[in-house]
Structure 1
């Protein structure tokens, strides 16, 4: 334990996702030793991002405008919608340069243990977007874990009666991985999604 404001800084840094007590302490001491100009620039950017960044009114991705650049882009396919859990998932998919449709960010995944049910996600807004009939395919790109699977299953049950084509991202074994280290779900999906060796 440190005195006053130093401990306050360590505590606040430790509240960030993925930052444990040791990392928080290391970052705090880095900031203490850093040039005051660099620290001020970091503080200014943190304040500016909170003031300027909001959620897109259509897909709920992060944006500095009313609509994000993807929703404003007329070259994107308006008939295909990729449903993701978080904003970072949009960035990951965009990096592949394989997808040219639009997105819908749920804001999380169904997780009863964390008190997150369908009501806490942007599922109502998703259903509103699908109501006009423009979208013909919905790609469920939730994480391949228990919460992501629960969310995808829930959404599939809601979307199938509408007559939409509902697809899931292929998943299975990573390139360079060893079978012995694969969990049952990953290995099971790899078997279910197998394809011809000629492809």
Structure 2
């Protein structure tokens, strides 16, 4: 961007690395931040520094938190016998927002992907195995995306867990027609899966 200066260029380049922001969106965001320095830029800078200083990864489940173990792992009211396996913190936050699950979580930190070079050792698998070995777990709930990578990861985890403890039930979230969904707008795979999983 001609005449913007290296500081603005660096801000735009860093913003463009965020998911969902391309160069054009990053330029608009940078301009909005700079124009509203007092209301946006300075508070955002302080919040980012605060997060960088205080947010850590829970040593038990792998979620982002300001305490270790995190509030969910530390909560005695949560069901210790159930672990819900999710790809990232965003899925954990979505589950917590709904409030339908009262157990604990395990955040893998990604999905197996040959194309992206993500291997089993790149995921937080060993922590999950250790939790199973420690005992007291009756069910592992796979809450992974309905993608090739998600299903490959779920199968890999199920195979690993069965090798360590056959008594643990492995379940998957139901997939199919969403509440309020119109069949005419759904893809063929979703409709086919809904028929297979009917009850």
Describe the SS at the equivalent of 1:125: helix
2:197 aligns with one of 186, 190, 193: 193
1:60 aligns with one of 59, 62, 70: 62
- The TM-score normalised by the length of structure 1 is 0.92
Q: Does 1:176 align with 2:188?
A: no
How many pairs does the alignment contain? Answer: 195
Describe the SS at the equivalent of 1:16: coil
1:66-98 per-residue CA deviation (whole Å, 9 max, x = no partner) reads 211001100111001111110111111111111
Query: Separation in 2 of the partners of 1:112 and 1:30?
Result: 39
Aligned residues: CA RMSD: 1.4
Query: Separation in 2 of the partners of 1:142 and 1:184?
Result: 20
- The TM-score normalised by the length of structure 2 is 0.92
Indicate the residue corresponding to 1:23 in structure 2: 25
Q: CA deviation at 1:187?
A: 2.2
Query: Separation in 1 of the partners of 2:68 and 2:178?
Result: 38
Q: Which runs of 5+ in 1 are unaligned?
A: none
Describe the SS at the equivalent of 2:115: helix
Moved >6 Å (runs of 4+)? none
Query: Separation in 2 of the partners of 1:49 and 1:172?
Result: 37
Indicate the residue corresponding to 2:161 in structure 1: 159
